[in-house]
Amino acid sequence: MSLRNVAIIAHVDHGKTTLVDQLFRQSGTFRDNQRIEERAMDSNDLEKERGITILAKCTSIEWDGGAGESTRINIVDTPGHADFGGEVERILSMVDGVILLVDSSEGAMPQTKFVTGKALALGLKPIVVVNKIDRADERTQEVLDEVFDLFVSLDATDEQLDFPVLFASGRNGYASDDPTAREGTLEPLFKKIVEHVPAPSADPDGPFKFLVTLLDRDNFLGRILTGLVFSGTVKTNMPIHALDPDGNVVETGRASKLMAFRGLERVPVDEAKAGDIISIAGLTTATVANTIADPSVSEPLHAQPIDPPTLSMRFAVNDSPMAGREGTKVTSRMIRDRLAREAESNVAIKVTESEDKDSFEVAGRGELQLGVLIETMRREGFELGISRPRVLFRDGENGREEPYETVVIDVDDEHSGTVVEKMSVRKAEMTDMRPSGGGKTRITFSAPSRGLIGYHGEFLSDTRGTGIMNRLFEKYGPYKGNIEGRANGVLISNGAGEANAYALGPLEERGVLMVGVGEALYEGMIIGQNAKTEDLEVNPMKSKQLTNFRASGKDDAIRLTPPWKMTLEQAIAYIDDDELVEVTPKSIRLRKRHLDPHERKKANRAKAA
């Protein structure tokens, strides 16, 4: 049986996970009567809810091309979002070819550029699939030209520029050389993979070598290491050792269990040969980027370097008056152990402990990546206090440097002026502006990451929810100076108790409320946004004094506007430097870092001095 290892790369929402579903069905991986979930590869709850791929996953299908010999195709579904790029870079070292999927209407987007650049730099040859050709607003030929221009801008070789093209609809399960086709099967895609992607160039006769690219845990087997066998053969219970990238022996042990991918399942196998993508259990400290090898091997395999983190947040023990009421994991030791596990398996995250041992600085690729980590911990029962994200500066040749992002915005023509104005306030420079059809304009900016924190909500309001913003780490560039933060102050509760309708009614005139009637409050908790720039302490618990006197008419029934309930990402982006987000399994609350008003004044005076 011949073997092919291929990765599918695409921008968020361009349909790669749906296409993999159809490849499963048409290769006979699922029985005809087998009930299978839509987007089967997105196994994580958060992936299903958000409709995005967060964790890279391996799978395998067998295809019989009709010539008698079947081919096993190992497919890796990669995350489309740049925040999870730590996964992508490692994954690409396991495969020999890539399928680049682009939407027939949206075309080549920033995240497409990110992953494709990594693939081309590794010398992988792409197969381009223009997906969703049955869309009413498809512009297939223009999109193909955009992809070619993208490859040229990424310094693709002549061989890489001579890429095969297929036109497909992943949802309807067909692919064709003809862009006008509207029915058929995915047979042409299977053929292109077998013809165009080379077989693994592994050494079957050398000593066993295996590079770890993914790490996960199993309650029964412990640490499971997934990667590609670069040379030799490994058998169950064979003695092995792990080498770090510098060649030092990390640990020795045995390959107690070998597992290969068959469809969506990981099944035990007795041996694996060069070129196979497998999982190994039996080691306790080996991690991502380590080389697992025969004890005679002393030279490690080259591991792909990872782009540095650009954003950090402070994860602290929840010290609010309501701490410990909703979560089960509230101590610094539990938080430390959980973050250490995360940093172990996710190489794009760096964790450092503060001197007071009660908080941890967690650095990552972006707000979405850290937001997903916080949401995952919250669902596991953790309570946390999260600070405002801050970018990580570095010292360059010309002084202080900060991270920049390429921002591509698709917006209705009528809103383009507002967007350009708001982005210029955030020190962004416009690099391109062109019509993108259907009364929309595509604007490209180079913007400091610092200025984009908290802008997405405002952007959606400015564009009436119709704008689409995509961001991608670009470079470290010169420090842009002071960027104005949030324009509005906040309403702060001056005591503890329950929110009262009689008190909230007049407060609505002061700004936008974030709490409803009957909600438990504490001193220093943020209950709303002030219409003015300064913070305002208010009493949201004040009730009406009851007397024996009757009003001449009935008291007007107090009608309150529904409170503004933020999602986790919105809350993290909204808060200022002196505020925290209190995250528990059931609630997301905003609060001041110093709950006592005297402490706040003292901190403000110290900051001003």
Degrees to nearest 5, angle at CA 322 with 318 and 324 = 65
Q: Side-chain half-sphere of 254: how many Cα atoms within 13 Å?
A: 6
Q: Are 218 and 224 in contact (CB under 8 A)?
A: yes
Among candidate residues 306, 302, 293, 279, the one with its CA nearest the CA of residue 249: 293
Question: Taken in order 469, 472, 477, 481, is the CA torsion positive or negative?
Answer: positive
Degrees to nearest 5, angle at CA 324 with 319 and 326 = 125
Maximum distance among all Cα pairs of the chain, rounded to whole angstroms: 98
Coil/strand/helix, residue 563: coil
- φ, ψ (nearest 5 deg) of residue 115: -75, -40
What residues form DSSP beta bridges with 107? 103
Coil/strand/helix, residue 144: helix
Q: Are 514 and 527 in contact (CB under 8 A)?
A: yes
Annotated binding site: which residue ranges?
Answer: 13-18, 131-134
Among candidate residues 311, 229, 237, the one with its CA nearest the CA of residue 272: 229
Q: How many CB atoms lie within 10 A of CB 211?
A: 23
CB burial string 154-192: b at 16+ within 10 A, e below: eebeeebeebebbbbbbeebbbbeeeebeeeebebbbeb
**Helix ranges restricted to H, 520-608:** 568-574, 597-608
Among candidate residues 467, 592, 583, the one with its CA nearest the CA of residue 522: 592
Task: Tell me how far apart the alpha carbons of residues 119 and 439 are, in angstroms, rounded to a whole number.
Answer: 34
Among candidate residues 543, 546, 508, the one with its CA nearest the CA of residue 527: 508
Among candidate residues 189, 65, 57, 43, the one with its CA nearest the CA of residue 127: 189
Annotated binding site for GTP: which residue ranges?
Answer: 13-18, 131-134
Task: Tell me how far apart the alpha carbons of residues 458 and 466 are, in angstroms, rounded to a whole number.
Answer: 12
What's the first-to-final CA gap in the chain, in angstroms? 73
Task: Tell me how far apart the alpha carbons of residues 519 and 541 are, in angstroms, rounded to a whole number.
Answer: 10
Q: Are 104 and 437 in contact (CB under 8 A)?
A: no
CB burial string 280-295: b at 16+ within 10 A, e below: bbbbeebbbbbbbbbe
Task: Tell me how far apart the alpha carbons of residues 325 and 249 are, in angstroms, rounded to a whole number.
Answer: 46
Task: Tell me how far apart the alpha carbons of residues 525 and 523 are, in angstroms, rounded to a whole number.
Answer: 6
Q: Are 75 and 63 in contact (CB under 8 A)?
A: no
Task: Tell me how far apart the alpha carbons of residues 520 and 499 are, in angstroms, rounded to a whole number.
Answer: 7
